[in-house]
Amino acid sequence: MSGELPSPIVNADSQPYWDAARDDRLVLQKCSGCGTVRFFPRYLCTECGSEKVEWVDSAGRGTVHSFTIVHRAAFPEFQERTPYVVALIDLEDGPRMMTNILGDDALDISIGDAVEVCFEARGSDGAKVPQFRRARS
């Protein structure tokens, strides 16, 4: 998937996340107070309320918690790519995030399958979104 698919929308909460994605890095917020790794990026820790945060590199590995194969998309740019997989990934780092599953074997994905991060270009200015594919190793 690439081309006309939507580019990331960057804001003050998420700037480091999307900056890192441009360099093929998945980064997550880690609370400096209690150590909880969280997703999505936000101002404070939902566990302890601390406003102190550091950005850490994710291991980039996880397992499929659930998924769907979309046959009828909401927008034309996605409709061209049907059928495609939307999945929820439980990261080894702790949090859960949403992704597509990319690769020729994507439609065979199952709950519990191991996946690893990859990056997909969006737009023409170097922006990328984190994506996942089956783990190679």
Asked if 39 and 47 touch (Cβ cutoff 8 Å), the reply is: no
Binding test (CB under 8 A) with another protein, winner from 5, 114, 118, 135: 5
Q: According to the binding rule CB under 8 A, does residue 91 interact with another protein?
A: no
Binding test (CB under 8 A) with another protein, winner from 40, 48, 59, 105: 40
Q: What is the 3-state secondary structure (H, E, C) of the chain?
A: CCCCCCCCCCCCCCHHHHHHHHCCCCEEEEECCCCCEECCCCCCCCCCCCCCEEEEECCCEEEEEEEEEECCCCCHHHHCCCCEEEEEEEECCCCEEEEEEECCCHHHCCCCCEEEEEEEECCCCCCEEEEEEECCC
Q: According to the binding rule CB under 8 A, does residue 133 interact with another protein?
A: no
Q: According to the binding rule CB under 8 A, does residue 121 interact with another protein?
A: no
Q: Which is nearer to another protein, 12 or 137 (CB)?
A: 12
Q: In whole angstroms, how close is the CB of 96 to another protein at the nearest point? A: 6
Q: Which is nearer to another protein, 108 or 137 (CB)?
A: 108
Q: According to the binding rule CB under 8 A, does residue 54 interact with another protein?
A: no
Residues in contact with another protein by the rule CB under 8 A: 5-6, 8-9, 11, 14, 39-40, 65-75, 78, 81, 84, 86-88, 96-100, 111, 122, 129
